[in-house]
Amino acid sequence: MRLPTSGRAAVAGVALLSSFTIWAPTSTAAPDPTVDAEGIREALLDATAQGAPGAMARYDGPEGTVTEEAGERSLDTGLPMDTDHRFRVGSVTKTFTAVVLLQLIGEGAADLDDPVNAHLPGLLPDDRITLRHILSHRSGLWDYSNDMFAQTVPGFEAVRDKVFTLQELVDLSLTQPLTVEPGSAYAYSNANFVVAGILIEHLTGQSLNEAYQERVITPLGLADTGYVHPDPALPGPHIDGHLTPDEADAPLVDSTEQTVSWAQSAGALYSTPADLNRFLTALLDGELLGPDELDAMLTMAPTDTTGTRFYGLGLRRYDLSCELSVYGHTGTVQGYYTYAFTTEDGDRSLTATANASNNGTVNTALGNTLEAAFCDPEEPPTAPRFTPQSEPDLPPEQARE
């Protein structure tokens, strides 16, 4: 099993739109020629040009590591982005949550096709909704965040310091009818992974924090990953988050401190690029799940009509122009956009993040790191270039074009 490499050197005198590449080779072989470091750098610079104070990325592959950084980790401070610093990963949390629940399924505590209500009687209004539906966004549960963040900054400020119970979030979802018949269609909803969080606590008798730590974070040695609910502070060295108001030309709002209680098991983890790459490598390499559970997680269905975007169980698949599929998740939480993806064998991984949200052009620019990281720039594409789009981790107002 290959471990992600390190060896990042200190660089002084970083300007606002600085960027640099550092390779930490694991052997005497040349760095992986398929990685377009310049393309990654250009994508990050584009994200800062579109309004993010900063952006950064880390790629880990068989031949070594490349890191790229642009801009500031906190607006108007002159402090450079730093790939060793922590940030809120948003909906990348869903992959961690799915792994924990699938581990429990592998241990016989539940079955994917069990109705949720068989374990949590009366929680949901329809006995047809199964654990598989929850993890694949096919339950039809209304996404309560649509109403919560209909106005971006006022919505955020209303919940910034609020602490919800998981049951309260489910209750918010149930104020609206199901959006689709259970199992009939993909309909992304944070409520699904709130239910998954309730199931985890019920089946383990542990808090979510304890379950993540015991089952994923500690076994993988993810020293810079954690679950900080309801404490609003990000612990340790971290990247500040910035929320873009709906009003044109309005100043960014510092959103670093927040409980993220509105998301919890749907989006409240923090991490670093190195830790997320390690997590995805371990997941696809079979370290975290048994073969049956991993196969179920990787069983994908399309989420739109592009033929390039798919969803399994807490896991996205994107099909790139070089006919390579990458697996992982996007993350949107107030102040941060994240892309964390790996190849099917877990051998090549990329995590990229920008410290501004509610700006779809930033999100799209950041997503352009995927083609640069995984497709050889010297080889002509065999399919149309993958075009990042704002994924529905939050409603459109939170990830607008």
Q: Quick check: is 255 catalytic?
A: no
Q: What span, in angstroms and rounded, lies between the C-alpha atoms of 347 and 61?
A: 6
Q: Choose the catalytic residue: 19, 91, 321, 357.
A: 91
| Alpha-carbon dihedral sign for residues 8, 12, 17, 21 | negative
Which residues, 6 or more positions from 50, have their beta carbon under 8 angstroms from its beta carbon? 359, 361, 362, 365
Catalytic center residues = 91
